[in-house]
Structure 1
Amino acid sequence: MLTLYHSPYSRSSRIVRLLDELGILDQVEIRIVGISRIDGSGSADPANPHPEGKVPLLVHDGVEIWESSAIILYLTELFPDAGLGRPIGHRDRGALLSWLAWYGDVMEPVMVVELTGLSHPILTSTFRGVKEMTARLANQLQETPYILGDAYSAADLLLSSTFVWMPKATPDVPAIRDWVARCQARPSAARLLEYDRKLLEA
């Protein structure tokens, strides 16, 4: 049994979108929980088993999987037919793993540091900065329409989600803006917005 702990308009929204892209929404129980939000609203929900009270959390037959990149890798390997992952032996397997790790190890820390206005040589040397992050994305997307080439993948879903939720942070680089637009043109994007909207209204 698969259970996803989700809070609307949060990091777990991209996992709901992934379930849609994989065609398995009807195979996963989605439990709605509250979370503490950046604006000070909300609070940790005792119904959420995540040890830090966060989302997303995926539970598969009693086994907990946390962190978006890990959940994305887990689900794309569990349901390979949608083609959003890259199996062992595929020539793009290493690239997929690298981009998923790059999101959590570089992209998100860089964005958080930028938003908070922090500046320190150790932060820059460890995570790089927005300039370097932008260049890395742009260099790839100037070569191919999607992160791994000609086809949309789980890497596109994860990396573009940052700019979906923070559109003003999207670099003013045509290759990146066009890529985000391509990702958002997929039907799953509109369905996710409607899904989260209905949850908030309920």
Structure 2
Amino acid sequence: MLKLIYSPRSRATRVLALLHELGALEQVRLEIVAIERMDGSGARDPRNPHPDGKVPLLLDGEVQIWESAAIIQYLADRFADAGLSIPPGDAQRGAYLSWFAWYAGVLEPVLILEFAGVQHPLLERNFRGKQEAQARLRQALQGRDYLLGERFTAADLLLHSAYAWMGKPGDPVIDAWVERCMARPGAAFARDFDSQMLAAA
């Protein structure tokens, strides 16, 4: 059985939302661990096999899959019947995979640097700025509900999660997309699950 190393209200929450969307919750065992939080609370949990003590981490037998973008791709392909992945050979597969790489290599770094108040021309040349990132998203979403058209995919689940966590950017096109993604059953399930976990702690 697959195992997800998990902590509530963390980057692992989006993986839980995905598992609900995939109908795969009963096929993945959750291992709840403590993590070091941004506010200084928490601590590294010795039960967590992640090499950095972080979450999420997916275990498939002896195989470890780390980083949200990789885990989400892996699960969406593993449970492909749910229709959240774009299969090899499909004309949209390249764009689908590119969004995962763009999230990890551009969007999340840009948003974190902006949040931290860090600016430097070298960073902007490499990662682009917040405005350029939002323009790229707006262009992709113009006239469509989701990144690849009218179909919600695991790429939407990953990319919208940054704004679900940090707040919508105030762009009507992007905001509407974030709201559509946040209204999905998986997102609602994961929010409720985390709230219950924290209330019981």
Q: Percent identity?
A: 54
Q: 1:62: Cα distance to partner? A: 1.3
Deviation string, structure 1 residues 148-202 (Cα, Å, up to 9, x no partner): 11110001100110111111xx222111111111111212222111111111122
- Contact kept in structure 1, 2:16 and 2:186, CA below 8 Å: no
1:91 aligns with 2:56: no
Per-residue Cα deviation, 1:5-51 (whole angstroms, up to 9, x for no partner): 00000000000000000000011000000111110001110000000
Question: How many residue pairs get matched?
Answer: 200
Q: Does 1:56 align with 2:29?
A: no
Match of 1:183 in 2: 181
Equivalent AA in structure 1 for residue 191 of structure 2: L
Residue in 2 that maps onto 1:78: 78
Report the alpha carbon displacement of residue 75 of structure 1 after superposing the two structures with TM.
Answer: 0.6
Contact 2:20 2:185 survives alignment (8 Å): no
CA shift, 1:143, in A, is 3.2
Within 1, Cα distance between the matches of 2:8 and 2:101? 24
Q: TM-score scaled by structure 1?
A: 0.97
Task: Calculate the aligned-residue CA RMSD, in Å.
Answer: 0.8
| Matched position secondary structure for 1:58 | strand
Q: Does 1:108 align with 2:108?
A: yes
In structure 2, the residue matched to 1:139 is 139
> Larger relative contact order (C-alpha < 8 A, sep ≥ 6)?
2
Unpaired runs of 5+ in structure 2? none
What does residue 118 of structure 2 align with? 118
Separation (CA, whole Å) in 2 of partners of 1:77 and 1:142: 27
Q: Give 2:7's aligned residue.
A: 7
